[in-house]
């Protein structure tokens, strides 16, 4: 029986699983919460809020066709990167699977109705750090996000701290 490369296991198992979690969470929010409804989770720190984002990341106002084409190009580039990885490159494959899950999740949501459903709100507005945050960033509340956004941030962070040598093909063996 042929052995499946670890990088393909990450892509084939993790990507659809994370995509499914993202899709299911967004559908649950749409079905259970009205627009701008707030469900506190951790008093003053974390809440679920139903928000629809018609723009790109951080609500940048870009036309839907441009965002859709960019999403497809990103997925194509990620698949090409995955293909170029050595078969045993587990951590880079994990990072690329996270990125593919997040990109596909937000792209699918956007293609459905032109917006992305966001619902996770993190805030430090009631904390001692609030004045410092407002002074430095203008707010103590992070923009509302979703699970796909988490997958994207974690994937990018992993690639940013990963040694470049982990992304390269192993050198060809010298002839004996």
Rounded average pLDDT over 8-23: 91
Domain ranges of the chain: 26-166
Mean residue pLDDT of the chain comes to: 86
* pLDDT reported for residue 5: 79
* pLDDT reported for residue 109: 93
Alpha helices in the chain (DSSP H): 6-9, 15-32, 64-84, 90-113, 130-137, 147-161
d(CA 106, CA 115): 9
d(CA 50, CA 138): 23
Rounded average pLDDT over 84-98: 88
The pTM of the full predicted model, rounded to 2 decimals, is 0.83
Q: At 1, is the secondary structure helix, strand, or coil?
A: coil
Instruction: For the chain, give the number of residues.
Output: 176
* The CA-based dihedral angle spanning residues 57, 114, 75, 89, taken in that order and rounded to the nearest 10 degrees: 60
What are the tens digits of pLDDT across the range 134-170? 998 888 888 899 999 999 999 999 999 987 766 665 4
Q: Which residue has the higher pLDDT, 73 or 65?
A: 73
Contact 110, 74 (CB under 8 A): no
Residue 18's pLDDT band (cuts 50, 70, 90): very high
* pLDDT reported for residue 9: 80
The rounded radius of gyration (Å) of the Cα atoms in the chain is 19
Q: Is 60's pLDDT higher than 70? A: yes
Query: Would you call 118 a catalytic residue per the annotation?
Result: yes
Q: Which residue has the higher pLDDT, 154 or 89?
A: 154
Choosing from 43, 109, 113, 118, the catalytic residue is 118
d(CA 14, CA 53): 26
Choosing from 43, 87, 113, 149, the catalytic residue is 149
* pLDDT reported for residue 176: 46
**15-32 vs 90-113: helix crossing angle, rounded to 10:** 30
Lowest mean pLDDT among 8-12, 50-54, 91-95: 8-12
Structure tokens belonging to residue 105: 């999740």
* Residues 6 or more apart whose Cβ sits within 8 Å of residue 46: 40, 120, 121, 122, 123
What are the tens digits of pLDDT across the range 32-49? 999 878 899 988 799 999
């Amino acid at each position: 029986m042929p052995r499946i490369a670890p990088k393909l296991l990450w892509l084939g198992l993790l990507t659809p699983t994370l995509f499914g979690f993202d899709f299911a969470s967004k559908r649950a929010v749409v079905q259970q919460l009205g627009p701008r409804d707030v469900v506190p989770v951790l008093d003053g720190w974390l809440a679920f809020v139903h928000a629809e984002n018609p723009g790109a990341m951080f609500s940048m106002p870009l036309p839907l066709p441009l965002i859709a084409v960019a999403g497809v190009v990103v997925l194509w580039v990620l698949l090409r990167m995955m293909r170029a990885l050595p078969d045993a490159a587990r951590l880079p494959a994990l990072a690329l699977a996270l990125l593919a899950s997040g990109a596909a999740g937000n792209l699918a949501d956007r293609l459905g109705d032109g917006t992305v459903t966001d619902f996770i709100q993190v805030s430090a507005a009631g904390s001692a750090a609030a004045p410092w945050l407002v002074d430095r960033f203008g707010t103590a509340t992070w923009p509302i996000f979703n699970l796909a956004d988490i997958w994207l941030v974690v994937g990018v962070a992993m690639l940013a701290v990963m040694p470049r040598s982990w992304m390269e093909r192993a050198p060809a063996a010298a002839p004996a």
